[in-house]
Amino acid sequence: MARTSRLRHEGKRTVKSKAKSKARPKSKAALDPITFSVILNRFNTIANEMTLTMEKTAWTSVIALARDFSCAIYDAKARQICMMDALPIHTNSLHVVLQEIARVFGDDIHDGDVIACNHAYSGNTHIGDFVTACPVFHKGKHMFWTVTKGHQLDVGAFVPSSVPAPAENIWQEGLQLPPIKFYDKGKRCDDVIRMYIANMRWQEWLNGDLMAQLGSIWNGRRRLVEFAEEYGNDEIERYSEGILDYADKRMSEEIRAMPDGDYDGVSWLDSNGKGGTNIQIGARVSIRGDKVHIDFSNSAPQVPSANNSSYGVMQAAAGIPILCSIDPTIPHNDGCLRHITADAPVGSVCNAAYPASTALATVGPGDTMQEAVWKALAHAVPERVLGGNGKDGNLPMLSGTDSRSGVDIEWGCLFFNGGPAGGATSKADGWPLIMTSAGMGGLKILSVELCELLYPMRIDRQEIAADSMGHGKYHGGPGVDVKMTPTSGAMLCELFGEGQSNPPFGAMNGTPGIGGGSYRENIRSGKRIYYSSKGRMVIEDGEFWAGISSGGGGYGDPLQRDPEAVLESLIGGFLSLKSTREVYGVVVDAKTMALNIEKTKALRKKLRAARKSKAITTPNVPGYATWVKKSLRSGDEYLIDAQ
Amino acid sequence: MRHILGVDIGGTFTDFALIDDAGEINLWKEATTPADPGIAIRDGLAALAETRGLEIRQLIESLDLFVHGQTIATNTVIQRNGPKTGLLCTEGFRDVLYFRDGFKPDRYNVSLPREKDFIRRDLRLPVTERIDYRGDVLQKLDEKSVREAVKVFKKHGVESVAVALLWSIVNPSHEQKVKKIVAKQLPGVPVVLSSDVLPMIREWERTSSTVLSAYILPGISEYTINLEKYLAANGFGHNLLVMQLNGGTATLAQLLKRPIYALASGPAAGPSAGLYCAERMKVNNVITIDMGGTSFDVCMVTDGHPALTQDMRIHDNPVGVSAIEVHSIGAGGGSIAWIDKGGALQVGPQSAGAEPGPACYELGGDQPTVTDVNVVLGYINPDYFLGGRRAINAEASARAIDKVIAKPLGLTTEQAADGIFRIVNTNMVNAIRVVSVEKGIDPRGYNLVVGGGAGPIHAGSLGRELGMAQAIIPRFGGVFCSYGMIVSDVRLDLVRAFASNTAALDLARINKIFSELEGEAIAELKSQGFPRSRIEIRRFADAKYSNQIHELTIPLPSRGKIKKSDIGDIAEEFHGLHERMFSYCVRESEVDLFHWRITALGKLPDTEARVFKRTRKPVSEAQKGTRPVYSSEAGKFKKTKIYDGDLLQHGMTVVGPAVIEQENMTVVVLGKQTLKINRYGDFVLAIN
């Protein structure tokens, strides 16, 4: 891939299309810089208050602890003004679903409305993401939308999971909600809400999360109305426009600093969800002047399971790596987003055609599309990219019956604690527990103690896994070695992960992460059954579930890593003595743990001489991971897409 | 004559505020003595005694209250120069500190560096044991595993040990046993237990709080214990009180058990000091700023309530307990000016501290500091620094500025000095914006209350840049936080866990819990000399809807027993708070109550404030003379009036440009600004 992309790049290099962006008419009065900052930050504060409302009042751990939701503020034209601490896959596509909501209801949008939607074919990300949008009026004028998207614990699918990997179409995914009013001019649509809740598992919990989500958008509305009262509609609109222009201008400068050209990257999904492996996703990133276009034409047709992308996810997945390659202090709003466009053929795995299921869109397909874009960017702006993030793996949906109190209580939990890590960059090692590029570190793990209090499980181990990360001048974050035992009868475990046979890539001579995997083990016999990244298992009484998640991809040549830093990783147990020597060329006395500088120099020289050509990204072939193969013992089984 | 005394050890100066029962105030500053902070305290006591015409022992005997705060603990964690610390944790969970809550703060900064953990992974060692959520022992503590771990600690020379085991909050027996074993094998090494420091669910927050505690404990225990002994030996009849990060004080014994409360304890007194002067002027929205030698601290006070945070972090490590929200940056008189790799002029965060101090001290410091700049620009009078106690050399200041900044940048000395002055001001303005503008609060609706020896030199410039109308500069501004300490109440926060629900509230049990907690608190405060009439108890509970996960703290009826007829009000308290905070509530739902809390306050007697009569004298009577002072706007030195702060009286108005000199602080009044003296003797600056 590297070769073709460079050729294409050079071929286009002469094309200079640095079109000047249209000069915007200057507003009559200049913006006062202090007022500008106050208003910009007030939006942030309001979005933050929406976020806290959702987090602090929700009833399920996926919202209240793991924070799998996003809150954002849009103007009346459905342009993003502000988001805080939110998940990139949500906030970079919320405008798509909001525009559809606005289109569907047209002039039937009123003060007091709440419009819900979870329908991927209405611009939503995937069915698990439930959108509530509240138009904000002041002095009779529609000024804003407050929007919250929360990942629901359940969607009424044919299996107890809101990310049902085996779903073959939207009817198996669960209850589809195209834009629909939950409140109409302030009046609660009880019939609609009853119908919604009636289709869900864990109804009491889901109802609690619905209240939290409504509270979040209402709190945003309340604060925005106060804000408009304080500054007046005109002033707020003038400054809002200024905030978008400000981001637009800075984004423009950033993209112009990237070399014009076409760049390609390819990645693979582990499977089609039905046993077929290595599904290609190809991205071409075209940079022209201050615009970027991403084209996913070089991708496989849609698959017969839920492992397809929706239109909304495709838009977000294309843009996130671009936004991560620019100055992070630029406010992330419509001013940035308007510089990025994306496309993929309808009916491809990146843009599935109705009625295909897209229930996994945000994670497997979204993560893999982002990876393909990153790999393409490595040819354009190598100093700005990262080694691959671990794709969402070892994050099972668990459920069962909790009889600990003497009363049977049905429970379900999205378990994030064994999540994979982030990739390294040209400046820093990767972070652990990035979980998925959809969240980019915005998802949290669950406190072990809270987990054991809330659910019938015991966590026996939760530590870093040595050598699980990609190596490099900077190494990826480490994966997690997790072991968990059910404590009240059997537990159902739905795996909907990704990236275990196609691990996170290494960049600029960095190496890939391990991919990782998970298994259940019979405590008495010791027999293990390994599962591919997707699959359904029952962890019976007398069994436990364990796994090692992938570390992130490395960046740069491991032989350039500071030997002292290598030693520190060795002493800390991040690296084994073997990889210290063989990958990093660092010689340490196993007994005294003393660094031998002379021998290190000599070994590094030898390794460097034996080194093959430079690799911009590794791997560029599918099915690269070997963790499962290495881990399988005689008598163990390995199941692909088990159902 | 009886006295009360506040002593605040800062990074550069140790400040003293002594008040007698007639309201007469004596302020004093000593250079901090980092090797043994007690030296500066004893020297300061000697100086204050002399001022009062007393022997040291007579002064100490006359003290009704001795409150002490410090920034030593904060500096230890910020500079990471604490002792080598080890952590013992439950086997399988060595990475609780490293994993944190899995959250990465900035989604779009892929190169965000990760702060290192306070304990290296090879000193985070497992012990074999397991307790479950009910407190039942699943696996008995394997004492051999503790001894093995301690062997490693010994080999590495570990000087302080934290112990944080899973579920120690419901069954602390394993932690307690571990402590005994460690104490035996590592005599003299302190051991801090998570079940003592923060007995609340969530292992990361609890572990972090315990590790920070173990990290700061050795640095504060030795000198404070010695200080307490010294005071006792010299006739002090009470407990030494120490300032805590929650804005109240505690006894030393309490603090040493929960050292986390010693973090940022000095700056936590700032809001009390600021409020004390603002409220008597009927002002209750203020931003307090305190610029000392090393750091600049900011706190928002809205409607008379200092901002509190439950989420205070040190390098991403949660502190875990409720704290006064003070934002600090490295900007003070000792902040060093330097030129970065890109050729840009920078100021701080490095500080020359007390030793070697600014170049003008001529104690070996050759780097230009903000104090040097203030000397060169004529704001500080070289002959009257600390009231003339510290000889400083203005030429040494000019030399340092020339050599390090002016020459390399091709500027004149004055231009370089003015540049440094403006940059440090910008840094401070940004710090004020962090707590106000960045939270969506417009600082223009607030008054500045200015403290610190250097604060009032810069206040007029900061306020002008932020568009603020008025700054209050207390007469004791030079020793701001030490003053705040003596107007802060003694505070004891206690908590106990017991699950109950408004549908079937176990009143007998809850009243028993409160009676025990209150008994403990009252006994403690009485032993410190507070009569029952000066002890105030406030009750709280952590409440949530049954299936919610997070809780809100609500106030409970705090007098007498909680009765059945109170239950409706308690539920309504929660519904109402939930609605105010989150825009909705569910009145038909019952309410779960879990942690039961009390805050016990030992109320100090109101400090008598002296009220001055309006003078008819003209302000010229307070004028000492004139000297050339640099005007940033004019770009040159201008002849400027100099006033003696001690002679300025209620009723006088100083018109800028002017400089006011007082022993412990200097006030700069810029052109077009005016300064009045109010009836309490404080300076009130109209900023313009």
Query: What's the pLDDT at A34?
Result: 61
B66 in contact with A, Cβ within 8 Å: no
A270 against B75, higher pLDDT: A270
Single-letter residue type at B106: D
Q: Count contacts between A and B (CB, < 8 Å).
A: 177
Note the pLDDT tens digit of each residue in B187-215.
999 999 999 998 888 999 999 999 999 99
Residues 583-612 of B with CB under 8 A from A: 583-584, 586
Q: Do residues B66 and B238 make contact, with C-beta atoms less than 8 angstroms apart?
A: yes
List of chain B residues whose C-beta atoms are within 8 Å of the C-beta of residue A112: none
In chain A, which among 509-538 make CB contacts under 8 A with chain B? none
Which of A239, A243, A47 shows the shortest CA–CA distance to A147? A47
In B, which residues are within 8 Å of A480 by CB distance? 99
Give pLDDT < 70 ranges for chain B.
342, 607-608
| Closest-approach residue (CA) in chain A for B130 | A460
pTM as predicted: 0.89
Q: Which residue of B has its CA nearest to A479?
A: B99
Distance from CA of A526 to the nearest CA of B (A): 20
Q: Which residues contact B508 (CB under 8 A, 6 or more apart)?
A: none
Interface contact flag, B550 A57, Cβ < 8 Å = yes
Which residues lie below 8 Å from residue A380, measured CB to CB, with a gap of 6+? A9, A258, A259, A261, A263, A285, A287
Q: Is A448 on the interface with B (CB under 8 A)?
A: yes
Looking at chain A, the whole-number percentage of residues with pLDDT higher than 70 is 95
Average of pLDDT values for A115-123?
Answer: 98
Cβ-defined contact of A462 to B99 (cutoff 8 Å): yes
Q: What is the mean pLDDT of residues A484-497?
A: 97
CB B463 within 8 A of CB B449: no
Neighbouring C-alpha atoms within 13 Å toward the C-beta of B571: 19
The pLDDT, as a whole number, for residue B342 is 66
Taking each helix axis as running N to C, give the angle between helix B72-79 and helix B203-233, from 0 to 180 degrees, rounded to the nearest 10. Answer: 140
Residue A350 confidence (pLDDT): 98
Tell me, yes or no, if A570 comes closer than 8 A to chain B by beta carbon. no
Cα torsion B247, B252, B256, B258 to 10°: value is -30
Distance separating alpha carbons of residues A633 and A616, to the nearest angstrom: 35
User: Within 13 Å and on the Cβ side, how many CA atoms surround A176?
Assistant: 18
**Per CATH, is B3-76+221-262 categorized as 3.30.420.40?**
yes
Contact with chain A for residue B550, Cβ under 8 A: yes
The answer on pLDDT for A3 being more than 70 is: no
pLDDT tens by residue, A203-221: 999 999 999 999 999 999 9
- Give the residue from chain A lying closest to B92, CA to CA: A461
| Dihedral pair phi/psi, residue A126, rounded to 5° | -155, 170
Structure tokens at B567: 């239950």
A494: pLDDT strictly greater than 50: yes
Helix, strand, coil percentages, rounded to 5, for chain A: 30, 25, 45
Contact A426 B111 (CB under 8 A): yes
State how far the Cα of A73 lies from the Cα of A78, in Å rounded to an integer.
9
Give the pLDDT confidence score for residue B266 in this predicted structure.
82
Chain B residue closest to A447 (CA)?
B202
CATH of domain B490-602: 3.30.1490
**What mean pLDDT value characterizes chain A?**
93
**What is the CATH number that goes with domain B81-219?**
3.40.50
- At A628 the pLDDT is 94
pLDDT 10s digits, A356-401:
999 999 999 999 999 999 999 999 999 999 999 999 999 999 999 9
CB-based contact, A473 to chain B, within 8 Å: no
Q: What does the pLDDT average to over A425-441?
A: 97
In B186-205, the residues whose Cβ lies within 8 Å of chain A are: 201-204
Query: What pLDDT sits at residue A27?
Result: 47
Amino acid A28: pLDDT: 52
Q: Which of residues 354-393 of A touch B (CB under 8 A)?
A: 386
Determine contact: B464 vs chain A, CB below 8 A. Answer: no
Alpha-carbon span A417 to B617, nearest angstrom:
73
pLDDT at B74: 85
Count other Cβ atoms within 10 Å, centred on residue B154.
13
Q: H-helix or E-strand containing B116?
A: none
pLDDT at B71: 85
Distance from C-alpha of B382 to C-alpha of A134, rounded to nearest angstrom: 63
pLDDT of residue B274: 92
**pLDDT at position A1:** 34
Interfacial B residues in 112-141 facing A (CB < 8 Å) = 112-114, 120-122, 132-133, 138
Cβ-based contacts of A319 with chain B (< 8 Å): none
Residue A7 pLDDT class (50, 70, 90 cuts): very low
Q: Which residues of B205-237 are buried (b: 16+ CB within 10 A; e: fewer)?
A: bbbbbbbbbbbbbbbbbebbeebbebbeebebe
B99 interface with A at CB cutoff 8 Å: yes
Q: Which tokens go with A261? A: 């050209």
Residue of B nearest to A50 (CA): B582
Pure H helices in A279-310: none
What is the reported pLDDT for B354?
74
**What are the C-alpha distances in Å from B459 to residues B54, B281, B372, B644, B686?**
36, 19, 18, 19, 11
Q: What is the pLDDT of residue B349?
A: 85
Asked whether the beta carbons of residue B120 and residue A59 sit closer than 8 angstroms, the reply is no
Residue A260 has pLDDT above 90, yes or no: yes
The predicted-structure confidence for B89-130, as pLDDT tens digits, reads as follows 999 999 999 999 999 999 999 999 998 999 999 999 999 999
Is B104 within 8 Å of A57 when comparing Cβ atoms? Answer: no
Q: Per residue in A178-210, pLDDT tens?
A: 999 999 999 999 999 999 999 999 999 999 999
Query: At A390, which amino acid appears?
Result: G
Residues A520-525, mean pLDDT to the nearest whole number: 96
pLDDT given for residue B386 in this prediction: 78
Going from N- to C-terminal start, the domains of chain B cover: 3-76+221-262, 81-219, 490-602
| Sequence-distant contacts of B628-631: CB under 8 A, at least 24 apart | B628/B378, B629/B377, B629/B378, B629/B379, B629/B657, B629/B659, B629/B668, B630/B376, B630/B377, B630/B378, B630/B379, B630/B414, B630/B417, B630/B418, B631/B657, B631/B671
B93: tokens are 């969970």
What does the pLDDT average to over A39-64?
92
Q: In this predicted structure, what is the pLDDT of residue A368?
A: 98
